[in-house]
Amino acid sequence: MSRVPGAALVTGRFHRRSRPRVLLATSCLVAAALLTPLAFLLIEAHGAGTGAVVRLIFRSLTASLLWNTVRLTIVVTALCAVIGTLAAWCVECTDLPLRRMWAVLVVVPFAIPDFVVSFGWASLTTWIQGFRGAVVVMTLAVYPLVYLPVAASLRSADPGQEEVARSLGAGRLKTFFRVTIGQARGAILGGCLLVSLVILAEYGAFEIVGYQTFTTEIFTEFDSFNVQAAAALSLVLVVLGVIVLVGDGWARGNTRVARSGALAQRARKTHRLGRAKAGVLLGFLLLVGLALGVPVGSSIYWMLEGGAHAFAGVSLLDAAGDTAAYSASAAAVATLMALPVSLLVTRHPTRFGRLLERSTFLVLAMPGIVIAFALSYFSLRYGGGSFYQTAPLLIAAYAIMFFPLALVGVRASVAYAPVALEEAGRSLGQRRLAVLRRVTLPLVGPGLMAAFCLVFLATATELTATLILIPDNVQTLATQFWAYQTALSYGQAAPFALVMIGIAAVPSYVLGRFFDRRPSQRAVAR
Amino acid sequence: MRVCGLHKSFGPQAVLMGVDLEIPSGSFTAILGPSGSGKTTLLRVLAGLERADRGTVAIGSTVVDDDREHVPAERRRLGYVSQEGSLFPHLTVEANVGFGLPRGERRGGRVGELLETVGLSGLARRYPHELSGGQQQRVAVARALAVRPQAVLLDEPFASLDAQLRASVRSDVRDILLAAGTTAVLVTHDQDEALSIADFVAVIRNGRIAQFAEPAELYARPVDADLARFVGAANLLEGRQEGGVVETPLGPAAAGGASGPVTVLVRPEQLEIARLDPAGSDAGRVAGRVVSTSYHGHDCLVYVRPEGAAGDLTGAVVARTLGDPHLAEGSAVTLRINGPVLTWAPASGPAPAPAAEAAEEPA
């Protein structure tokens, strides 16, 4: 076992336990499953021969795709960081009126698929096109990825540090930037990481606004059975993803959020907004209006416009049922897969474990289409095609794609149940199973539920991989919507958009509740 | 509770290297050691939260940990109270205390009794985060006692409390445990705490028990100079033993042991300090000057640099007076060793002091 830097001072307080063989083995299996798509890429690229790959990569097309992708990623990530952090701070740390309502409404746009936001805007105005359109649409669609972790971290941060900063003569603003933001820095960076990776993998939204990135180009290549070209471009995309990961690791450096005086747990003091209150309220109204109101309103408008004949009730119900079933299965599988990795990383911190955890984040840098094709490829080559376009394969693809989301939730929840509490339970005469039921699960449960919901949300609105892996006679809400949307039948597409929003809104409400729960439940999280 | 030849290491780092210890039933025993000495590890092995690499642990007549067997923590009936208290954050105080009880007893009688014992009856419905640090620790103790354990193991439970609270919570907890008649083992790095609270103190050093004794014995007759310094302020002088008397730079003192060069332990309260008498009636006393004083209210430590014959002593010696001695810096004083002292021949154990009984050895 290599030693992590923080454990250099091994005293009586730090107890290394025996090697967790089972955890290590299952975690390795999970990581292996997650990295199959990468293996596929490499095999495919290798099959094409180095010369061919180099020729495919060094084209003028690659340069323009690179420019498009990188500038969009940077601009949207920066916007999301600002919007997400400010919104989280206002909801968590100020006397914003109706903060419980805002806490829910601000998260809901996360439930709206990016391509629906895109559809909502682009079908209303031609102003939403190209780079400009992509920036607006993506920012409104993904800022909750920053909001959620930042809000959680602000809630659990040590209020003492702000007080100390004020007492050292730092003004409100200085305290905000140097202490509050400092405490939430890890969460902000984590959110930005997710935003960047999501943008690298997005397909539907950009297709609608007519903005070309690596991922849309890869889809086109795959669609025309140009597998090698797509694989070569995917390699570049993975490299971009790695750059984002490394940049994130570099930016975090060795920042550690230490919390002193663990025994006395106090609530954070709320800041008075004072005269800024009206402005802040207006800002929230605007944000929710643009991110939630426009897509929903536009869908309703098109549905009414389409009239009753456009409304295919039965197919809608079928699609909704299938979508929910796929999503629930995928969420369960992904959450289960995230458990061993989370336990390994939080309870047996080693460099290898961290590397393992990091490697799983690579998955987000891969477009859904690559994962989908990888699984098709494997099932065709090694399974005789028996799994091709079946439900298990689709669910496996979802579970792999959204594993990092599950991991975020599960890791946080595992941290709520430190080993010390389990030891306390056992020393009180309770068997492991009873401790699991009475201590660990109640503490971890809400977090697992949150992880489940995160994956459910993402899956219910997944488009790209679904288009490829969906069984023959089945349609999910997303694929049916896409079919209508592509045919410009906005009236028929709109009900599907609305149901997708509805299906995802329930879990996102649960999510909001999870992140808003009693401080007692995260009292010992450290 | 008996521990024999206990070894434990974490990776390449050996923490316990042959611990032998017997904790008398019904006693309050403190395990005292500097940080990194392995005291917490020892406690966790006792609790069954770590498994020993070698050696045996027995509770009563039952072996709970040896090469063949390892009884897990949940079947040892030992209450473990950690430094943080480790209260379950999702449960009320009441539910925390009742956690280890069978389902039927979790509400009512026993829990209420225990909360009364620790003086927290009114807070049964609170959550841990709504309690102060001292209250949390008392709940943790009540929770450990609820299951009627064979012994309670306390891992520096007072370390995170402030000094004043620590003293009161400490004596509260001691009273609670005494009233319950439970064997208690306390791990601490604070010698003051160990001496004041425990019936027996086991000093752990470099992964071994350096000494096991009653507090007074430990303070008066530590096994070597390092230990003497660790358990309290000490003047360590070079002397020469001759018959029943040891000759030191601060004058002669009664001491037992073989003739020859020795190291002499003089506790500050054994050093009698007086103002220099201008009349010169200071026969047999060593002159010196006050370097500094450190006043504590109930007593005062006076640092004195000896002069004249004893001037070859390096550094100052320290004497303790009751109350305020009214000695300014630079005052001329005289010193005298009062009563029998402990001596060690070089590189060997202590010689028996003339007036002391034979040392009580741990079994």
Three-state secondary structure string covering B108-153: CHHHHHHHHHCCCHHHCCCCHHHCCHHHHHHHHHHHHHHCCCCEEE
Average pLDDT score over residue span A465-481: 88
* pLDDT score of A290 more than 80: yes
| pLDDT tens by residue, B46-62 | 888 888 888 889 888 88
Mean pLDDT of chain A: 80
Lowest mean pLDDT: which of A303-307, A335-339, A479-483?
Answer: A303-307
The total of structural domains in chain A comes to 1
pLDDT score for A298:
92
Lowest mean pLDDT: which of A511-520, B74-83, B191-200, B227-236?
Answer: A511-520
Q: Which residue has the higher pLDDT, B254 or A18?
A: B254
Task: For B241, list phi and psi in degrees, rounded to 5.
Answer: -85, 135
| pLDDT tens by residue, B82-117 | 888 888 888 889 889 988 888 877 777 888 888 888
Picking from A430, A404, A419, A401, the residue whose alpha carbon sits closest to that of residue A343 is A419
Q: What band does A261 get if pLDDT is binned at 50, 70 and 90? A: very low
pLDDT score for A357:
82
**Residue A369, in any domain of the structure:** yes
CA-to-CA distance for A268 and A99, rounded, in angstroms?
15
| pLDDT tens by residue, A99-158 | 888 888 888 887 788 899 999 999 888 888 899 999 999 999 999 989 988 888 887 776
Picking from A500, A356, A489, the residue whose alpha carbon sits closest to that of residue A30 is A356
- Scanning A437-456 for CB atoms below 8 A from B yields 438-439, 442-443
Taking the Cβ of residue A424 and every Cβ of chain B, the question of whether any pair is shorter than 8 Å is answered with: yes
**Residue A6, in any domain of the structure:** no
Q: What band does A82 get if pLDDT is binned at 50, 70 and 90? A: very high
pLDDT score for A152:
81
Lowest mean pLDDT: which of A124-138, A176-190, A315-329?
Answer: A176-190
| Closest residue on chain A to B144 (Cα) | A428
The B200-205 sheet, strands edge to edge:
B78-81, B151-155, B183-188, B28-32, B200-205, B208-213
Q: What band does B233 get if pLDDT is binned at 50, 70 and 90? A: confident
pLDDT score for B310:
55
**Residue A261, in any domain of the structure:** no
* pLDDT score of A254 more than 60: no
Of chain A, the percentage scoring pLDDT greater than 90 comes to: 20
In the DSSP assignment, the letter for residue A94 is B
| Closest residue on chain B to A416 (Cα) | B89
**Residue A14, in any domain of the structure:** no
Facing residues of B209 across strands?
Answer: B204
Lowest mean pLDDT: which of A174-188, A322-336, A473-487, B132-146?
Answer: A174-188
Residues of A in contact with B41 (CB under 8 A): 12, 15
**Residue A11, in any domain of the structure:** no
pLDDT score for A355:
83
**Residue A269, in any domain of the structure:** no
- Scanning B17-56 for CB atoms below 8 A from A yields 35-41, 44, 47-50
Of chain A, the percentage scoring pLDDT greater than 70 comes to: 85
* pLDDT score of B143 more than 80: yes
Domain of residue A285: give its range: 19-255+280-523
- Scanning B118-137 for CB atoms below 8 A from A yields 127-130, 132-133, 136
Q: Do B199 and B240 contact (CB within 8 A), yes or no?
A: no
Secondary structure of B68-87 in HEC code, one letter for each residue? CCECCHHHCCEEEECCCCCC
Taking the Cβ of residue A212 and every Cβ of chain B, the question of whether any pair is shorter than 8 Å is answered with: no
**Residue A69, in any domain of the structure:** yes
Q: What is the torsion angle, in degrees rounded to the nearest 10, for the CA atoms of residue B95, residue B100, residue B102 and residue B105?
A: -40
Q: Do B141 and B105 contact (CB within 8 A), yes or no?
A: no
Distances from the Cα of B283 to the Cαs of A290, A454, B279, B336, in angstroms?
97, 88, 11, 10
**Residue A290, in any domain of the structure:** yes
Residues of A in contact with B89 (CB under 8 A): 443, 520-524
Is A429 close to B160, i.e. CB distance below 8 A? no
pLDDT score for A515:
57
Q: What is the torsion angle, in degrees rounded to the nearest 10, for the CA atoms of residue A176, residue A180, residue A185 and residue A190?
A: -110
Q: Do B227 and B203 contact (CB within 8 A), yes or no?
A: yes
* pLDDT score of A14 more than 70: no
| Closest residue on chain A to B98 (Cα) | A428
Shortest distance between the Cα of B308 and any Cα of chain A, in A, equals: 47
- Under 8 Å CB-to-CB from B165, ≥6 apart: which residues? B133, B134
Convert A218-250 to b/e letters by CB count within 10 Å (16 or more is b): bbebbeeeebbbbbbbbbbbbebbeebbeebee
The B245-248 sheet, strands edge to edge:
B251-254, B245-248, B235-242, B260-266, B342-344
- The complex scores an ipTM of 0.73
Amino acid at B70: H
CATH number at residue A164: 1.10.3720.10
* pLDDT score of B357 more than 60: no
Q: Do B300 and B312 contact (CB within 8 A), yes or no?
A: no
Average pLDDT score over residue span B179-185: 87
| Closest residue on chain A to B96 (Cα) | A425
How many contacts (CB atoms, under 8 Å) link A and B? 115
Residues of B in contact with A520 (CB under 8 A): 89-90, 127-130
Taking the Cβ of residue B78 and every Cβ of chain A, the question of whether any pair is shorter than 8 Å is answered with: yes
Q: Which residue has the higher pLDDT, A14 or A232?
A: A232
Q: Do A30 and A343 contact (CB within 8 A), yes or no?
A: no
Is A263 close to B133, i.e. CB distance below 8 A? yes
Q: What band does B356 get if pLDDT is binned at 50, 70 and 90? A: very low
Q: What band does B308 get if pLDDT is binned at 50, 70 and 90? A: low
* pLDDT score of A75 more than 70: yes
